[in-house]
Structure 1
């Protein structure tokens, strides 16, 4: 039997959520969680039987909260809310993000404060296990009262509506897939529809992916930055620990330690130890401060995401049949702000990388102009920096914080919303652009390092450079560099550089992880 995660009981992390989504871990409901779910469902039924007025159980929604719904219509109400709130537009979000939405929703509902039926929860788990994942449009959530529209689309298949990715990843009508598999649609009970669509799981699922992808981008930035520094014959002295102990930000210290150890054993560094270059430009010298600030932003986001992963974010919360609290746990602001912060952090990684790109084609520090020996007839590496410059500016335009905006909805009942769904989507866009900028820097850094031969860099930089050269050759004349950038992008996105660096560090007994490894691990 493989690894098991107990929904509603165990502590969910980013890595566990991703492992469940990728089939590496199985998520289950144990008896303790089932008892909590059944108790909460019984409390809701008791509320209905007594006729107590509780929002969303026997009232309308939003501005219709004062409209009383009869006992016989409480189930119909839950069916209709999934229909009426399914108003998403745009392209479907990636299948994996939809699946993470399912996983995080199950964990929240399984804690026993939402009044969900056990059969409904088990059906959602069935979707996860069978990899039959609902299709969710990317736009339409304002991030409070929860991610209403995307969550409505996510759970339409429970009542036989909507669309899904089937077992083979093909798009299909949920009704067709359920019929083929002999699975009947569900009849939702009191409060169930509201429990399903009220919550932050759209924002949260995007945040989970941001944590994963930005972590790789941060580690990759240090490696490529070190290779660029070697190509530009920069100094490693700004990475010495004594400097950062007197301004001890965790991110800065972590990056400085990584760069210091990554460059140990470099013949290139030794060759210009006594040169007359007093100090390097900021994009080399300030990597610990800039990359480190972005790491601090990532750390803040990771901490907030881990809280949210283990929270109950629907409304009302059912403590027992006598205590149903209408609150605001669905409000996405706690994630919206750190997601916007992470977007700025990712954008700045691209900004400083582009500065290094520009420096490497200027013809400074012993490198040929445009990183090619024979230019004139050849344009050399002039134009890839245009691409990185364009992406840097595009990222800057995406950095406006969605969380700073709010448009009243629901006839003023929901008069302040987080827009965190926008924060999550655009931060992933920024990271996608960052990965392309890093691809250009990797292309430049590998070419620059070639001009330092026969001197060798450190074991880590040599190994990562060799991996690049197995896929893209040194350029002596013009060629279609888009193909080279695409190959570099594949390397960056795959995390291959990070894996190689870690393997070499382990083999050579290099302390690449530093004092803050646990904190900068998700």
Structure 2
């Protein structure tokens, strides 16, 4: 049985998010985290009893911050907040996106600075473990005041409102709660705001992007190594000595990977003393470009690991002794309004990832062109990798598709540089972090498809590599595994056929991790 993911507000990882979001791994909450939740709630109850005006507890929100809410309407305030903020638009989030959203929201709540009752945490756990997934509109977050609209859609089901997708199909919120034997919640002071104010859509998507981008980097090294090999390129540029004098971390890893993938290659060895002076940049500079992409992914991972285990709603509830009463802005010294809901730490790095993945796609498309283009390819390769070219077009249009996807990547904006003030100009600078997360995810998918084109073309080019004196030359241990993995799902192109299925199959080979599994089985050391 798969070990559950235990949430303690301190140790959630991107890999945990992927397990829960994609594999349905069960989630539990550590007892010490539950105790922190109970203690924070006691502090909120004390503020309610004191009657002191505190933002998020007995005042209005946003531009209505100065509106005092009577004690008998505080619960109504929290319910109305969730209802009114469920104003999203666009496509519905996919199940894995909803699960990532729910998981990360629970982990933020159990840090013990949000002030919700334990029952709120348990209801979210019940939804997640019961595969009850609220229907969440994807658009509407500005990434400041958190991902308000998507989180509000998620929270509606707790009130027996909205809709949810379940193993029994789509149900109303009331039916979904009944399915897992949960009573609807009546939200108390601070709880509506605590549910919807945070960066959990952004960080959930970013966590999945980190896992996927790291896998994509490893696949790119495999695709690049195969292309270097079958175009009779050299691995001299991957030598450790070259990297030592420019020791960027990602560059070092990418170069080492390509060397390992090509280890034992008779194809590479067959032209070691050829008269070619240098390879084209798309081959020679694999470590520098792939490595820079790796460094960008690592930069995002650093922020995601912090954000996954951060308190990002507002206001935050602290033990009284931990807050400077002179700067808290309220006599209730243990409740502080801040800006942890602002998604800029993720937005900027997500846009950086979008730029980096665009370059990964761009260099892959150039390598695919070198495999296909009769004006630059090796003389032993037939134009567009098909016998009887002219009568046949082979993989010609696959490169068109790659080029179109690279253009789409390049045309993707950088949302973190945008700003639209809202809430009567109270919220006058926003991060657009969720928009950045969606852009990064789209770019990642496009880059993966471009790499799929390169993999398909690399495997096809391998069919035309000249034989040596002893017959067919052997691939390297890793490039051979890459070739075989592609051939498991894409047959050799003997005559023209619709090649979209070839591209889709290679795309799935990367997305599902099947290519990595093949490499892991074949190689003594895993590629990094």
State the TM-score bracket (shorter-chain normalisation).
Answer: over 0.9
Residue by residue over 1:45-90, the C-alpha shift from the partner in whole angstroms, topping out at 9 and shown as x without a partner, is 1111111111010000000000000111111100000001000001
Equivalent of 2:356 in 345, 353, 361: 345
Corresponding position: 1:372 with 2:386? yes
Match of 2:432 in 1: 419
Distance in 2 between residues matched to 1:469 and 1:266, nearest whole Å = 18
Match of 1:227 in 2: 226
Distance in 2 between residues matched to 1:445 and 1:331, nearest whole Å = 44
Which 10-residue stretch deviates more, 359-368 or 234-243? 359-368
Partner SS for 2:523: helix
The Cα shift of 1:182 comes to: 4.2
Which 10-residue stretch deviates more, 177-186 or 400-409? 177-186
Corresponding position: 1:88 with 2:88? yes
The answer on whether the counterparts of 2:159 and 2:173 sit within 8 Å (CA) in structure 1 is no
Matches within 5 A, 1:210-289: 210-289=209-288
The Cα shift of 1:370 comes to: 1.4
The answer on whether the counterparts of 2:199 and 2:343 sit within 8 Å (CA) in structure 1 is yes
Distance in 1 between residues matched to 2:86 and 2:55, nearest whole Å = 20
Match of 1:333 in 2: 344
The answer on whether the counterparts of 1:8 and 1:109 sit within 8 Å (CA) in structure 2 is no
Corresponding position: 1:432 with 2:431? no
Change (3 A) 1:9 1:341: closer
Change (3 A) 1:243 1:330: same
Match of 2:491 in 1: 473
The Cα shift of 1:483 comes to: 1.9
Which 10-residue stretch deviates more, 58-67 or 320-329? 320-329
The Cα shift of 1:8 comes to: 2.7
The Cα shift of 1:22 comes to: 4.4
Corresponding position: 1:484 with 2:492? no
Distance in 1 between residues matched to 2:383 and 2:369, nearest whole Å = 11
Residue by residue over 1:196-247, the C-alpha shift from the partner in whole angstroms, topping out at 9 and shown as x without a partner, is 0000001011101111111111110000111111111101000000000010
Distance in 1 between residues matched to 2:347 and 2:418, nearest whole Å = 11
Match of 2:42 in 1: 42
The Cα shift of 1:306 comes to: 0.1
Which 10-residue stretch deviates more, 365-374 or 85-94? 365-374
Partner SS for 2:256: helix
Residue by residue over 1:429-452, the C-alpha shift from the partner in whole angstroms, topping out at 9 and shown as x without a partner, is 111111111111111100111111
Matches within 5 A, 1:59-70: 59-70=59-70
Residue by residue over 1:453-505, the C-alpha shift from the partner in whole angstroms, topping out at 9 and shown as x without a partner, is 51111122112212222322222321111222222222122221122112211
Partner SS for 1:411: coil
Partner SS for 1:235: coil
The answer on whether the counterparts of 1:8 and 1:108 sit within 8 Å (CA) in structure 2 is no
Equivalent of 2:473 in 451, 455, 459: 455
Equivalent of 1:404 in 414, 417, 438: 417
The Cα shift of 1:117 comes to: 0.6
Partner SS for 1:413: coil
Query: Structure 1 length normalisation: TM-score?
Result: 0.95
Matches within 5 A, 1:89-108: 89-108=89-108
The answer on whether the counterparts of 2:20 and 2:99 sit within 8 Å (CA) in structure 1 is no
Match of 2:369 in 1: 358
Residue by residue over 1:69-121, the C-alpha shift from the partner in whole angstroms, topping out at 9 and shown as x without a partner, is 01111111000000010000011111111111111111111111111011111
Distance in 2 between residues matched to 1:52 and 1:3, nearest whole Å = 45
The answer on whether the counterparts of 1:261 and 1:512 sit within 8 Å (CA) in structure 2 is no
Which 10-residue stretch deviates more, 450-459 or 342-351? 450-459
Match of 1:125 in 2: 125
Change (3 A) 1:257 1:180: closer
Distance in 2 between residues matched to 1:382 and 1:23, nearest whole Å = 38
Match of 1:520 in 2: none
The answer on whether the counterparts of 1:262 and 1:512 sit within 8 Å (CA) in structure 2 is no
For structure 1, the 5+ residue unaligned runs are 518-522
Distance in 2 between residues matched to 1:213 and 1:307, nearest whole Å = 18
Residue by residue over 1:281-308, the C-alpha shift from the partner in whole angstroms, topping out at 9 and shown as x without a partner, is 0000000000000000000000100000
Query: Structure 2 length normalisation: TM-score?
Result: 0.94
Distance in 1 between residues matched to 2:50 and 2:26, nearest whole Å = 39
Residue by residue over 1:21-48, the C-alpha shift from the partner in whole angstroms, topping out at 9 and shown as x without a partner, is 3456543233322221111111111111
Match of 1:190 in 2: 189
Residue by residue over 1:400-449, the C-alpha shift from the partner in whole angstroms, topping out at 9 and shown as x without a partner, is 21001111011100000000010000110111111111111111100111
The answer on whether the counterparts of 1:160 and 1:178 sit within 8 Å (CA) in structure 2 is yes
Partner SS for 2:494: coil
The Cα shift of 1:362 comes to: 1.9
For structure 2, the 5+ residue unaligned runs are 320-331
Match of 2:398 in 1: 384
The Cα shift of 1:9 comes to: 5.0
Equivalent of 2:408 in 394, 410, 424: 394
Q: Which portions of structure 1, spanning 4 or more consecutive aligned residues, are displaced by more than 6 angstroms?
A: none
Which 10-residue stretch deviates more, 356-365 or 278-287? 356-365
The answer on whether the counterparts of 1:374 and 1:476 sit within 8 Å (CA) in structure 2 is no
Partner SS for 2:489: coil
Distance in 2 between residues matched to 1:145 and 1:368, nearest whole Å = 58
Partner SS for 1:276: coil
Partner SS for 2:293: helix
